Structure 1
């Protein structure tokens, strides 16, 4: 046999290679090429923010407000900023040599519609202002009127009348949901009255709840934000507004690298309502809710702690009409998952008023599909329907147990100092020397379960007593929630 040359040997080996290896080799090379292209297009920290700042600065404005402070008899009007009130009180509540003066407040804002002269700022910047002035980058001063405000998200919308020769520059609201932790951001505003100040940093966190309102979902940033920055924009590197700078965390009053901005996606809906109606029009469901803890999830048969647990249903509200019940866990609303309790108010608020939407609830170990027609929160607030729970049976007297019961409502919560998350039925009165009294049960405590079944109304307790008597039981097992916490108590049934 003739000896093969090296080239002939290599060709022979190539012919015998497994086709799978060829496919793997090609795919690997293709993957490396894609990774190289992606890396070459990845955005890194810019060498300078100068070009971006030059483009955006003209759209950011200073807000100056004035209000009259009544100093007669050492009194201040409602709405005066806390720092001014503290200054006043430190001086014994006496204003120097005058009965009235002008209090001035400074803040920031930005133009969102140059043609219409629309400017966004914080509600607390213009709150109780008698005069509002907008100062542009070139120090041009324009009078502004308030179109609408929303204290719940701390957003206000202003309108200025354009002067001849004055050109407004606008910026756009971006998609804050695409913002990621670690992204570069730029804040522009009027800190301490020093207009046109630019700071840069990154997004430190998303979805922050700082107890500022019912729809807290703040973007946290370490870009320097100080007093006077309020109402100013937080930009991404595309020049889109992804947040409205609203609050800072600071023991000293100055920036410590923890600032909070209202996400632009929340602001969009609010601004649109303020522009069209002069007020917000939020969706309303008509329920009180609480967090689903791991223990509650386990007891209800949920695989994990998620959703919003309904603790009460407003009488005549959308939830009652949709057959949502106390004890249901709302898992999805309008096709959006409720991963945690505080997500539900925002989802409902952003839903179109009057729209019928699907709702999935967890009830007695099963998912139940319902449909609810969304109401309007502002109308419900005006009518006093918000927080008004549905009352099934207000009270019941059970001689067999020696006590009287009431349905849990706001009046009883206040009377017995019960927490918001309390559930069950309230013990209104305990008969002296009766079966309940002998077991140390007291008025103001709650019956949470009867015979290890959760109860929500006095009628349910009454039915449980009737059933126990029919089955000739001598006692009834109650789960009591009192000052000592939860405890089981077996109460004898009196004849």
Structure 2
């Protein structure tokens, strides 16, 4: 479970809940009905859903970086693996972890979980509610959305969960979280939808469009389902905000629509083929709304439309504010970014936007992420040293078309016309190749850059 630490000071208040019974009344004698009315219970729904929830145990190796103080950092890459005894001056360390998951296809044995649950795992063991242990393998992942698809070997007698339309959720809807907190085994907690379209404000380049809930979620709940009272999947529990490391009533789940979009791409293509709208922007605030005569308080403000992009072809312009996507309200730029980025290339949307105080609509068809030639946020945020560089695929590799003055890219030593042709001795030709290489999370990053007739390595991390 990802834990977002905060500096909030919280006061704990213990609330007591008692059942008025006589001293001789046992739990077995408590009535199922009161005055002829059946008492409310989630038990019938959970009896159908719980077999679809699994625990996931993982084992693997991760690299611990060791430093040779006699070698300057900028030269360490060139000494190679043998000098340090292994790649990049790191030593492997065994680790074990645990998490949760949910079966979304019983016939094929597909299990939806978080990427951080199975990241770097060499061995994945899936434990079913009935105690069976099955060997799992990773089908595909999306690190930026923290989604992973696992498949178990020889799937038999499995139960799958139904997937709800998470776009129909409302604040106040009841939620139920199921998972394996602290390795205790299958555990159920309940709450409500506290907020929608949430972002934690992370600068890690992840796509965040979370459902916030106050259902108790703790370590080990990661990857487990958040469900509605119909027993349908509405989200995948992925992170909490907690000053203490335990449940504080603020948990975040990836919406089921967002996770399902990614999973279907993984199943069909073996990878995520991210769609791109081709805009830059930020959150709408009161000052922007006043300056642009916008009668709205929430939305995605467009500061720039990239040339020849899907947005440009749809007629969007700088200064527009996107307020709806397929009739669903857009609360923030982060929410729009997450929904677009987790939809596949070629997908069509109807966008509602405000321009000069008037609402307009347009249809847009997303382009593949290889199109992006200016400030591709998903790549730049993965590698901060490229922030401020406009990148495009060329015949030789990834060419730098523009660099913002005093940007991290400029400070890294990159120049307009440079072509990135490799990373850590691995040849790359496209933005997609670079992204895949960075997904491996190397402990050190050296870009192989071609500048004119010269080739050199640029150590950026």
SS of 1:124's partner is helix
Q: Which residue of 2 aligns with 1:3?
A: none
SS of 1:342's partner is helix
Alignment map for 1:299-310 (pairs within 5 Å): 299-310=291-302
CA distance in 2, matches of 1:351, 1:135: 31
Give 1:360 deviation, angstroms.
5.7
Distance 1:289 1:185, change over 3 A: same
Q: Which residue of 1 aligns with 2:245?
A: 253
The question of whether the paired residues in 1 share the 8 Å contact of 2:292 and 2:319 is answered with: no
CA distance in 1, matches of 2:55, 2:120: 18
Give 1:254 deviation, angstroms.
1.3
Q: Which has the higher strand share?
A: 2
The question of whether the paired residues in 2 share the 8 Å contact of 1:60 and 1:233 is answered with: yes
Give 1:138 deviation, angstroms.
2.9
Distance 1:206 1:328, change over 3 A: closer
CA distance in 1, matches of 2:178, 2:334: 30
Alignment map for 1:301-380 (pairs within 5 Å): 301-322=293-314, 324-331=316-323, 338-349=330-341, 353-354=345-346, 362=354, 372-377=364-369, 379-380=370-371
Give 1:105 deviation, angstroms.
0.8
Distance 1:193 1:367, change over 3 A: closer
Does residue 66 of structure 1 match 2:36? no
Does residue 131 of structure 1 match 2:123? yes
Alignment map for 1:333-482 (pairs within 5 Å): 338-349=330-341, 353-354=345-346, 362=354, 372-377=364-369, 379-380=370-371, 386=376, 410-412=403-405, 414=407
Give 1:321 deviation, angstroms.
4.2
Give 1:238 deviation, angstroms.
1.6
Q: For residues 215-234 of structure 1, what are the alpha-carbon distances to aligned partners after superposition, in whole Å with 9 as ceiling and x for unaligned?
A: 42322222221101100112
User: Which of 166, 169, 186 is equivalent to 1:179?
Assistant: 169
Give 1:129 deviation, angstroms.
1.3
CA distance in 1, matches of 2:325, 2:160: 35
Q: Which residue of 2 aligns with 1:194?
A: 184
CA distance in 2, matches of 1:141, 1:67: 18
**Which segment is superposed worse, 154-163 or 212-221?**
212-221
Give 1:146 deviation, angstroms.
0.8
Does residue 204 of structure 1 match 2:188? no
TM-score, normalising length: structure 2: 0.62
Give 1:203 deviation, angstroms.
2.8
Q: For residues 188-228 of structure 1, what are the alpha-carbon distances to aligned partners after superposition, in whole Å with 9 as ceiling and x for unaligned?
A: 21111111122223333333222356542322222221101
Q: Which residue of 2 aligns with 1:103?
A: 95
- Structure 1: which 5+ residue stretches go unaligned? 1-43, 76-98, 392-408, 418-495
Q: Which residue of 2 aligns with 1:483?
A: none
Give 1:112 deviation, angstroms.
1.1
The question of whether the paired residues in 2 share the 8 Å contact of 1:121 and 1:230 is answered with: yes
Q: Which has the higher helix share?
A: 1
Q: Which residue of 1 aligns with 2:47?
A: 54
SS of 2:273's partner is coil
SS of 1:130's partner is strand
RCO comparison, higher one (Cα < 8 Å, 6+)? 2
Give 1:142 deviation, angstroms.
1.3
Q: Which residue of 1 aligns with 2:288?
A: 296
SS of 1:220's partner is strand
Q: For residues 1-41 of structure 1, what are the alpha-carbon distances to aligned partners after superposition, in whole Å with 9 as ceiling and x for unaligned?
A: xxxxxxxxxxxxxxxxxxxxxxxxxxxxxxxxxxxxxxxxx
Q: Which residue of 1 aligns with 2:75?
A: none
SS of 2:405's partner is helix
CA distance in 2, matches of 1:339, 1:167: 42
The question of whether the paired residues in 1 share the 8 Å contact of 2:190 and 2:216 is answered with: yes
The question of whether the paired residues in 2 share the 8 Å contact of 1:306 and 1:341 is answered with: no
Q: For residues 38-83 of structure 1, what are the alpha-carbon distances to aligned partners after superposition, in whole Å with 9 as ceiling and x for unaligned?
A: xxxxxx99644333333322211111111124568589xxxxxxxx
Give 1:184 deviation, angstroms.
3.1
CA-based RMSD: 3.5
The question of whether the paired residues in 2 share the 8 Å contact of 1:122 and 1:230 is answered with: yes
User: Which of 222, 236, 241 is equivalent to 1:244?
Assistant: 236
